[in-house]
Structure formats: structure tokens, C-alpha cells
Amino acid sequence: MADVLNGSPVRPGTDPSTAELVQKASEQLSRLVKDEIALAKAELAEKGKHAGIGVGLFGAAGVLTLYGVGALFATLIIVLDVFLELWLAALIVTVVLFGSAGILALFGKNQVTRAVPPEPSAAIASAKADVDEVKHAIKSRSRA
């Protein structure tokens, strides 16, 4: 009979002792955990690299989208210039943009005021209720 991991023969005619088996299992488990951690590190590094590239590409797409929106507004001004004076077309588009920005800011302010204070009040209340329940249970058991 041979030791499969080390390739050396086991004592002829005898089985390995329990202590030897436990020691080998411990060494194998330790090696397995170290190898799994190394594999996880390598996998996370690879995924992190791809995530970084993806985030960079999304950022570039966002910048190009902003330029596209600017070009769209310039096109809108040019279209309105067909019917109006150029300065009036630009003024109309500017007023609409600032008005839209103001309305969005008001909606955003409303949402932020709903989120303040930034504490999980329901979770805190639940935790306090749990603590009170435990205190009550301890007091009732100590009386009995």
C-alpha cells in the first residue's frame, strides 16, 4: 500500500494510526484552504480588472451622451431659427432648460427631505423592542 499524496509506502502490513490520519487530514485541509484563498484572490483580481474597464467605458459613454444632448439642443435652436430670430430661439431653449432644471431640483429637494435623518428608524425601534422584550423575559424568569 502506498501513501497517495506523498508517494511513499506506508508501514508494511499495518494501517496508519489515527494520529497520522488526523495529522494528514489537517495538513491537507490547511493546504486546501490556502489554495482556495489563492484561487479566490486571483478570480477577484480578474473580475476587478474587468469591472474597472467596464466602469471606465460607462463613464466614456456618459460623457458622449452629454455631448449628444448638447448637440440636440443646438439642433433645436437651429430648427427654431427657421421660424424665429436666432437670439429668440436660443432664449426659448435656454428658458426651457433652466425651468426644467428648477423643477427637477424641487423634486430632488423633496426626496432628500424625506430621507433625512439618515438613520434606520424602523430598525432602531425594532431593536429597542427586542431589548425590552429580553429584559422583560429576564425579569420574569428571575422572579420565578
Give domain status of residue 115, yes or no. yes
Give domain status of residue 65, yes or no. no
Indicate whether 14 pLDDT > 80: no
Q: Looking at the structure, tell me whether residues 88 and 133 fall in a common domain.
A: yes
What total number of domains does the chain contain?
2
Give domain status of residue 70, yes or no. no
Q: Looking at the structure, tell me whether residues 1 and 53 fall in a common domain.
A: yes
Indicate whether 7 pLDDT > 70: no
Which pTM value belongs to this model?
Answer: 0.52
Distance between CA atoms of 100 and 103, rounded to whole angstroms?
Answer: 5
Give domain status of residue 15, yes or no. yes
pLDDT value at residue 18: 86
Give domain status of residue 92, yes or no. yes
Q: Where in the sequence is the domain holding 19, given as residue range(s)?
A: 1-60
* Per-residue model confidence as pLDDT tens digits over 48-99: 899 999 999 999 999 999 999 999 999 999 999 999 999 999 999 999 999 9
pLDDT value at residue 1: 45
Distance between CA atoms of 95 and 110, rounded to whole angstroms?
Answer: 23
